[in-house]
Chains A and B, each alone.
Chain A
Amino acid sequence: MAKNQICFSFNQLTKIETKGDFADMAPEEIRQAIVDILSDIAPDEDLSHLDDSVNFRDQMELDSMDFLDIVMELRKRYRVQVPEEDYPQLASMDTTVSYLEPKMANVTA
């Protein structure tokens, strides 16, 4: 990146167009969407060895603000709203994908 272009968004995730229609996404696509979000939120982590059955927090350095980042990015990228009472559903990759599958089916473009 050129030095004179560093002015935008040190702190923001790369601006991504809203993906919109989530309804057609297969579980593996949802998984990839989560990996993409995690790689932005935790850029120092190696996500290639992520164990989908283990809680994110037990294999990555993630705190409550990071989880809010996941929620925010789902909202920004896919317009999926995750209410606060459902946050525990985002504990691991398996639970997250299971949770999002029906949510995504309800999302309209």
Chain B
Amino acid sequence: MISLSTHSELPDSQRVVITGIGLTAPNGNSLTELRAALLNGKSGVQPYEIRYFGKTLAGICDFETTRHQSKKDARRGTRAGGIGVFCANEALQDSGIDWVNTAKENVGVYIGVTEHGNVETESEIYQIKDYDYDTSFWSHHHNPRTVANNPAGEIALNMGITGPHYTIGAACAAGNAGMIQGLQMLRLGECDLAFAGGVSESIHTFGIFAGFASQGALATHDDPTKASRPFDKNRNGIVVAEGGCVYTLERLTDARARGAKIYGEIVGYAINTDATDFVLPNPERQAQCMRKALRIAGIAAEQIDIVSSHATGTHNGDILECVAIRDVFGDSDKTYVNNAKSFIGHSMGAAGALELAGNLLAFDDRQVHATINVDDLDEECALKGLVQNQPREVDRVDYILNNSFGMLGINSAVIIKRF
């Protein structure tokens, strides 16, 4: 296997930077809104009800669906597609790219998804139930809505992008995986501009709620805003959320040539696999994943200022990630650990990209947002640098490591450097 170059060995034409961000989260529809919510302890979890399953809790987005999409296209497409279209257009606007004069065949779209198609399939079955399951009432829109490339394809269709588009199925590591795919395609010269990130429409499938409930992994709490509580002794599972985050990624040479604003540089990344269980994480592999990302970045663990943890609020998952983080970061005095799911729930395919976005402005405001709802810290989750309940001001933030892990043992880590 060819060993990957460490970051310091790369020419500028192989360095990849973030130049635009578009997002929707349950507690904000722009980077500044999300950042303010994370620094002010504002949750986005609300009461929710879905067919068959009934009353539960969810992270719900309220972005303007028709800002970049006609009502007709929104009806014809999927929620995941609509989220992607919103985020990609917002990212483009934020980037300041001269879109009219951009060669659309050199633009790629790489969108991570945890799952896709469940929402539409459940909806169709629900509809034909009233017609005695006569499949002649099954929608002709079903296939274009449920093909696995749908969310990325809707973005390409909406924006007239004629380069490659596809989704990356990577369970809950998908947001990071989308970004990594975008970076790799830029380095290979397969595109000159990548729209990369992840989306989640998962709150619209009853199956995900029912599945987590049957697994004993769905959060409940009288106060919705307290339901998502990673690292707390009384955590009782996941709050499912929808959301999306799409970045414009460019090679440093291109970004510099147009005088782009640069949020940060992706200097390290890794994806690996537990190969041990369908569901239960393997901290040894998670630690290997983080170490590989550090090796590619060419930095020591102690140089990471913020670890944006994946922890979802399940009993075992949180403890095992803490084992991995302790293994890698040990007694590092300057490394802080936080968690965005405590605010917005688990936004599935969007989580990796969205949770990273929530941390990026730390390069400028030097605040490490907290993990909230830690009323009674689980001793097994007592990480040295865990930022509990209130943000922490630091002298300087140079590196952020973003963890995202998923079922079937997929692990991912991305490292962003201040630019």
Contacts and interface: CB of A to CB of B under 8 A. Distances in A.
**A-B pairs with the 6 shortest C-beta distances?**
A43-B71, A68-B140, A44-B70, A7-B50, A10-B79, A4-B48
A109 interface: no
Given A44-B70, A72-B139, A10 B46 contact: no
Contacts, number: 66
A7 B127 contact: no
B74 A10 contact: yes
B137 A75 contact: yes
Contacts of B70: 44
Contacts of A5: 49
Interface in B123-149: 123, 127, 130-131, 136-137, 139-141, 145
A16 to B, nearest CB: 10
Interface in B97-153: 119-120, 123, 127, 130-131, 136-137, 139-141, 145
Interface in A1-60: 3-13, 15, 41-44
Interface string A60-80: 010001001100100110000
B145 A11 contact: yes
A3 B242 CA distance: 13
Nearest to A17: B130
B203 interface: yes
26 contacts: A3-B60, A4-B47, A4-B58, A5-B49, A7-B51, A7-B203, A9-B127, A10-B74, A10-B82, A10-B204, A11-B76, A11-B77, A11-B120, A11-B123, A11-B139, A12-B139, A13-B75, A41-B75, A43-B75, A44-B70, A65-B76, A65-B140, A65-B141, A72-B137, A72-B139, A75-B136
A14 B62 CA distance: 20
B78 interface: yes
B258 interface: no
Interface residues of B, number: 33
Interface of B: 46-51, 58, 60, 62, 70-72, 74-79, 82, 119-120, 123, 127, 130-131, 136-137, 139-141, 145, 203-204
Contacts of A4: 46-49, 58, 60
A60 to B, nearest CB: 10
Contacts of A8: 51, 123
A98 to B, nearest CB: 25
A12 B123 contact: yes
A67 B46 CA distance: 39
Contacts of A65: 76, 140-141
Nearest to A8: B51
A15 B139 CA distance: 13
Q: Which of B51, B75, B119, B139 is the most central at the interface, judged by chain A CB atoms within 10 Å of its CB?
A: B75
Contact of B71 (A6, A7, A9, A44): A44
A59 B231 CA distance: 59
Contact of B127 (A3, A10, A12): A12
Nearest to B74: A10
A11 B203 CA distance: 15
Contacts of B136: 75
Nearest to B62: A3
A89 B75 CA distance: 25
A44 B78 CA distance: 17
B140 A72 contact: yes
Nearest to B47: A4
B74 A6 contact: no
A44 B137 contact: no
Contacts of A3: 46, 60, 62
